[in-house]
Amino acid sequence: MVSPDMPVPARHQLRIVVAGHVDHGKSTLIGRLLHDTGSLPEGKAEELRAISEKRGMPLEWSFVLDSFQAERDQAVTIDTTQIWFRTRTRDVVIIDAPGHREFLKNMISGAAAADAAVLVVDAVEGLRDQTRRHAYLLRLLGVRQVAVVINKMDAVGYSAARFGDLSRAVEQYLAGIGVTALAILPISARHGEGIMSFPAGLGWYDGPALLEVLERFHPARPAVDRPLRFPVQDVYRIDERRIVVGRVESGILRVGDRLVFSPAGRSARVAAIEVYGAPPPLEVRAGQVAGFTLDEPIFVERGDLASHEDGPPQLTDVVRVNLFWFGSRPLETGARYTVKLATHRAAVTVQSVERVIDTDTLESRQGGSVARNEVAEVVLRADTLLALDPHTDNPATGRVVLVDGYDIVGGGILSMGGYPDQRRLMAAPRSANLHQVDHLLSAETRARRQGHRGAVVWLTGLSGAGKSTIAMRLEQRLFALGYHAYVLDGDNVRRGLNSDLGFSPADRAENIRRVGAVAALFADAGTVAITAFISPYRADRVRARAAAAAVGCPFLEVHVKASLNACERRDPKGLYAKARAGTLPEFTGISSPYEAPEAPDLTLDTEGEDAAACVERAVAFVTARLGMSESETDSSPPFLRS
């Protein structure tokens, strides 16, 4: 008899999912594991014997888990389940994941909660499509500790050669997705071989038995050493206090810390951590739920993401998602969904389906849609700014689920791959002592003197599409027509104004922000500012348009369009060759995205028309929009005539 005073052992649950193809013996393995470790409740084995006999079959261990009548009658696991057992060292929760393709969403619902996985492979059948799909999904779900069992070894005569072949096949596949198995071992679950120990038939195998392998897994630790992330769950008004509640997903939150709430960016200090019925702590750590009050009455709501001022999450309205999809309707380019990102909800549009991945061959194809049970890489564009982290930096704030109507239909992990953090670009002026000074001259006065108003003509397109050529000729032609026009060209501006910037996504975005601001100043001064920059990000062009709008000037977005193939063939600066050779990183179109304008004011197709024709069309368009045309040079611009 154990003394009641004996200290309770540390009981951090280890959650292990058992995955693999249908009928490869997952439920049987779990049933047997529970039986052999003495974890089945009293009378359970007899009950199983009785219900197996009723169905005219030998003792079926899988009935421990397959508790639905439909599961027993059809001998297939429909839904995931969890069952507890104890090894010598710790409490374990075993998660059974259905292997049938139809029940992928149930498999994910089970496997996503796991710290580790056992992948079951039938020694006779070998690797099948769901074996590979499950392995792939485990990686997407962030389950990195994996052991593989080659089951039903009795059915292949305990052949060491067969085991060797399958081990190599599994290793090869796992290596392809960046996973290393902790162990690969031969077992026969039905006969309890290889679970606690190996019988003579498997004497050639000198590795550990399954139970020992399970004891080598360890539970996930809370991410205390990562930057603080606290997604706001709710704000409660209790007496006179406004308590912000949620869970610390990573890092440590301390009384006195200054917190910034993204995406809005408001900040305040933690006045007190609030706990009911206990003295208030001075800090709370990753994994703990918490409530706190702030020293200033700033507006905070569910969905905000609190962090420290140094090490905030990224802000973006566009993000790459490596996703799995189980919606009954395919995911389509252009379709609208809701994403849930921690406690935040946002409306998104599928901007593009970059590639659909065949989990059997790991090959990918391009396509506009993702069918049920497929995995793919897509780019999502949100209606508003999202505060997030790349999944590699912070899993809890680096993943989303997609909702269609009332249902969760998919999920995925986030990466910024080639897209910039927009936080710096959104920043308010750093100095608080700024006062707007008004000019004594109005835009109309300037326009009357110059004969036209100022404007920004924004050329965007791939490198080699013809932006600089068209810009320079357009400037020349407009000048000849009496316009004050000036070209801001990429390479020229980078020699001076932007000589401190490189080509990282963040620097490219800053480059365009400055050019947008300078172009707006030129336009405000009455000049037609023509810009010739790749300007690959839609968000940056939207910002440049806003800068022009702020000074009341027209902004004409011109898409100088040519296919990547054509640009690469032209390669006037030899840049594509360098990018392909890998010596020029983050090159638009090759290793960095180009987001074509959705609704440009003008499109110039430089593959379909020669440069002269493009320039003529540009001249006609700009002059028509700005009011001074070749035949009207002597009269005042039409906008003054109204």
Contact positions vs another protein (CB under 8 A): 1-4, 8, 10-13, 38, 40-44, 51, 54, 64-65, 67-70, 78-84, 91, 105-106, 108-109, 112-113, 141, 221-222, 233-234, 236, 238, 243, 245-247, 274-277, 285, 287-289, 291, 302, 326, 340, 343, 399, 401, 403, 406-409, 411
Q: How far is the CB of 325 from another protein (least distance, A)?
A: 11
**3-class state of residue 605 by DSSP:** strand
Report whether 364 contacts 378 (CB < 8 A): no
Q: How far is the CB of 190 from another protein (least distance, A)?
A: 20
The single-letter DSSP state of residue 582 is T
Q: How far is the CB of 96 from another protein (least distance, A)?
A: 9
SS (H, E, C) 431-494: CCCCCCCCCCCCHHHHHHHHCCCCEEEEEECCCCCCHHHHHHHHHHHHHHCCCCEEEEEHHHHH
Report whether 317 contacts 101 (CB < 8 A): no
Cα separation, 30 vs 34, in Å, equals 6
Report whether 61 contacts 49 (CB < 8 A): no
Q: How far is the CB of 91 from another protein (least distance, A)?
A: 8
Closer Cβ to another protein, 84 or 204, answer by number: 84
Identify the residue whose tokens are 């779900």.
141
Q: How far is the CB of 405 from another protein (least distance, A)?
A: 8
Which secondary structure element, helix H or strand E, spans residue 550, and what is its range? helix 538-550
Count of CB atoms situated within 10 Å of the CB of 88:
8
Report whether 422 contacts 355 (CB < 8 A): no
Q: How far is the CB of 214 from another protein (least distance, A)?
A: 18
b/e per residue, 260-287, with b = 16+ CB within 10 A? Answer: bbbbebebbebebbbeeeeeebeebbbe
Q: How far is the CB of 360 from another protein (least distance, A)?
A: 23
Closer Cβ to another protein, 37 or 629, answer by number: 37
**3-class state of residue 87 by DSSP:** coil
**In terms of C-beta density within 10 A (0-12 exposed, 13-18 middle, 19 or more buried), how is residue 324 classed?**
buried
Closer Cβ to another protein, 40 or 530, answer by number: 40
Q: How far is the CB of 42 from another protein (least distance, A)?
A: 5
Q: How far is the CB of 262 from another protein (least distance, A)?
A: 19
Q: At what angle do helices 611-626 and 467-480 cross, to 10 degrees?
A: 50
- Answer whether the bond into residue 186 is a cis peptide, omega within 30°: no
